Amino acid sequence: MAPLLLSLAVLILATRLLGEVAQRLGQPAVIGELLAGVLLGQSLLGLIDPSDPVIAALGGLGVLILLFEIGLHTDLRSLQEVGTQAATVATVGVLVPFVGGYAATQALGFGALESLVAGAALTATSIGISARSLRDVGRLDTPEGQIVLGAAVLDDLIGLVILGVVAALLGGTDITGWTIAKSTGLALGFVVVALVIGSYSAPPIFRVVERLRTTGALGIVALAFALLLAWIAERTGSAAIVGALAAGLVLHHTPQRREIERSVTQLGYFFVPVFFAGVGASVDLRAFGDGRTVLIGVALTVVGVLGKLVSGFSLWNFDGNRLLVGVAMIPRGEVGLIFAQVGLASGALAGGQFGAIMMMVVVTTLITPPWLAVLARSTRPRMPDQSDDGLDDLVSGARPMTPRATRPVQREK
């Protein structure tokens, strides 16, 4: 027990400290948490071993809680308003990076499976980081901002379905047209079935849970619901995080959502940084001594940036700022990391390949906030930004690593 206590205490303090430094430099806290992991990991200080079963399990719970939180904050209905445009940006923003990443890594000598993971890691857009950056430059409540938000949510959904397929393939299924179709069907089917059954069964269940006498029941029973769906997802050939996201989407519409969010967010403060620090600790810095790794990283980064820029310009019949949309779609953040981590854990990715994907995730996440700031200064918004709307909630709470000062906590009496 003693080594675990020290590891966890140091992990918490380091992720908090570097997360704070990142935010004060205008970057998302997740960057600092990743760097804390790199610092504490095997390459440098050796204080965190990401292959330790307890650290791995805590990080695994962390990523499930993160996706559960994202689901809780995501209103599928609000997507309908910017529906067609967001769907266009999302589809192009998934397909171009995926195909581009697959092709580029094939050209650089990856195997088929490794290229699939690399391509999949390029598909995601970080809702939290995109939304936060847009709000920081006063463009969240513009048509551009709305489209990016909707597309980012769709991207995560499509990306997670792809992850379910990739996870099944990593599990040893042969890659044929039929198995890919079957895995896609299972992953999509799971989300649809979970959403439909969940929408009918969750409200009455949580009405009963709300009446329980024991305190804290609501949040913790909701977590059990998410773990159960994650387990079912994994068992039916999808990915556990797809189940956790589906659980959040289902509970978004229950009247108990706010209280559930409060509990789950508190748990996330502990568990989520363990995931990011674990990802950082998995990076083998020596891999970057190899020029090849750096080359692959640069190639993936270029594909990652161009692929999402193209998605902005795919908007037809739109007189807004297409470049702004494209740039806001660039940050990969946590979902990209999840792909890379799944690939590494399953043994599909070698250390250098994992390092290259990490490099792409970190660079795309780092360049977005300053780039958006420059764009926003040089153009005018087409309509004024009202900053205190419903979306504020999605943004400020979507990811624990997104700063919102201590406001919500102080607000509670």
Q: Does 405 bind a second copy (CB under 8 A)?
A: yes
Given the rule CB under 8 A, which of 38-46, 115-123, 224-232, 291-299 is the region that contacts a second copy?
224-232
Binding residue for a second copy (CB under 8 A) from 39, 138, 199, 234?
234
C-alpha dihedral sign at 244, 246, 250, 255: positive
Enumerate residues 6+ apart whose C-beta is below 8 A from 212.
Answer: 218
Binding residue for a second copy (CB under 8 A) from 34, 122, 218, 391?
218
Q: Considering only residues 50 through 89, tell me which ones interact with a second copy, judged by CB under 8 A.
A: 53-54, 57, 60-61, 64
Of all helices (H) and strands (E), which one includes residue 191? helix 177-210
Q: Does 404 bind a second copy (CB under 8 A)?
A: yes
Q: Considering only residues 83 through 102, tell me which ones interact with a second copy, judged by CB under 8 A.
A: none
Closest of 98, 228, 238 to residue 170, by C-alpha = 238
Given the rule CB under 8 A, which of 21-29, 74-82, 184-192, 308-316 is the region that contacts a second copy?
21-29
Write the single-letter amino acid at 157. Answer: L
Binding residue for a second copy (CB under 8 A) from 162, 230, 357, 395?
230
The CB-of-109 to a second copy minimum distance in angstroms stands at 31
Binding residue for a second copy (CB under 8 A) from 112, 193, 285, 409?
409
| 12 neighbors 30 (Cβ within 8 angstroms) | no
The CB-of-303 to a second copy minimum distance in angstroms stands at 30
In angstroms, the CA 81 to CA 146 distance is: 9
Given the rule CB under 8 A, which of 158-166, 300-308, 377-385, 395-403 is the region that contacts a second copy?
395-403
Binding residue for a second copy (CB under 8 A) from 161, 251, 267, 303?
267
In angstroms, the CA 144 to CA 376 distance is: 12
The CB-of-139 to a second copy minimum distance in angstroms stands at 22
| 246 neighbors 268 (Cβ within 8 angstroms) | no
Q: Does 235 bind a second copy (CB under 8 A)?
A: yes
Binding residue for a second copy (CB under 8 A) from 24, 207, 286, 292?
24
Q: Does 12 bind a second copy (CB under 8 A)?
A: yes
What one-character-per-residue DSSP string does 363-388 give? HHHHHHHHHHHHHHHHS--SSPPP-S
First-residue to last-residue Cα distance in the chain: 37
In angstroms, the CA 311 to CA 93 distance is: 5
